[in-house]
Structure 1
Amino acid sequence: MGNLEILKKGYQDFASGNIKGVLSSWHKDIVWEECIGFPYVNDDGRYVGAQTVVDEVLALIPEYYENFKIEVFDFVDGGDKIVMVGHYTGTWKATGKKFKANATHTWTFKDGKAIHFFQAADSAAIIKP
């Protein structure tokens, strides 16, 4: 399976709540760079290690969002570097406001595993009242 297929399966696993499946495509020491515009992001938004990402990023999604979804429009396949282009949708719990925000993810792969993730998202479209 190529990197693009691995990534597409990861998004399918995330959408279905299969976090174990998501993690199977990540290197255990993945470097994760979360958008610093979100209130739950600490310091520079950089997290290292799959379990750290689960504990300090993914586990917080239900705390801050209702019905959070990633709508994928396209992938730009550069082999070991792939960009996802899409939207985040859901409700920001702090305000009860529904949102649709632009989002891109840049993934870097090494030996068939995601080793780096970089998020760019319109956090203002999500959290502003």
Structure 2
Amino acid sequence: MSDSPNVALIRRVYESGMAPEVTAEVFADDLVWDITPGFPYGGVYHTWASAGQDFFGRLAPSFEAFGAVPEEYFGDDDGHVFVSGHYHGKSKTGEEFDARFIHFWTIRDGKAVQLRQAADSYIVQSALQG
């Protein structure tokens, strides 16, 4: 079974490693990036520029490695794509971890307009504390 256009769109983001040319093409100007409370720097970020600077810009320095590993993609007929997977990372303290996530994307007019994340924040916070 082939991907729906919305699933294919979101799959590109993960497969590219969030490459700037892909995010520029896929993410809407009014993107909302909603990270679950309890996750490091959890909160709601408006625009990809804000998510990049205010979320990832603060998160990345705490890790030697950090990445999202998608495992399954599901799309519906209402412009939503669900991605289940896990974060794999290694903190600066040397703690390696795998923490499950689900990403709930909303697509409008061929662009991603919102990401809502839920993740096992405890595992990530524990790795940061060593």
For this structure pair, what is the TM-score category when the shorter chain's length is used for normalisation?
A: 0.7 to 0.9
Confirm or deny that 1:100 pairs with 2:101: no
Where does residue 66 of structure 1 map in the other structure? 64
Letter in 2 for 1:83: F
Query: Which structure 2 residue ranges, 5 or more long, are not aligned?
Result: none
The equivalent residue for 1:12 is 15
Partners of 2:73 and 2:88 in 1: CA distance: 18
Q: Are 1:35 and 2:36 an aligned pair?
A: yes
The equivalent residue for 2:54 is: 56
Count of residues paired in the alignment: 123
Q: Please say if residues 88 and 103 of structure 1, whose CA atoms lie closer than 8 Å, have aligned partners that are also in contact.
A: yes
**Partner SS for 2:45:** strand
Q: CA deviation at 1:5?
A: 0.7
Cα distance, 1:19 vs. partner? 2.5
TM-score for both structures, normalised by structure 2: 0.85
Secondary structure at 2:13 match in 1: helix
Alpha-carbon distance between aligned partners in 2 of 1:116 and 1:62, rounded to the nearest angstrom: 21
Query: What amino acid is the match of 1:107?
Result: W
SS of the residue corresponding to residue 97 of structure 2 reads: strand
2:57 is aligned with 1:91? no
Q: Distance in 2 between matches of 1:107 and 1:114?
A: 7
1: CA distance, partners of 2:96 / 2:88: 7
**Structure 1 stretches lacking a partner, 5+ long:** none
Supply the distance in 1 between the matched residues of 2:99 and 2:40 (Cα, whole angstroms): 16
- Quote the offset at 1:121 in angstroms: 0.6
8 Å CA contact retained: 1:92, 1:127 = no
Instruction: Report deviation, 1:68.
Output: 1.1
TM-score by length of 1: 0.86
The Cα of 1:26 is off from its aligned counterpart by 0.6
Go from structure 1 to structure 2 and tell me whether the alpha carbon gap of 1:57 and 1:77 turns closer, same or farther (over 3 Å shift): same
* CA deviations over 1:89-115 (Å, ceiling 9, x no partner): 01122x321100001100000000001
Q: What one-letter code is carried by the residue in structure 2 that aligns with 1:50? A: W
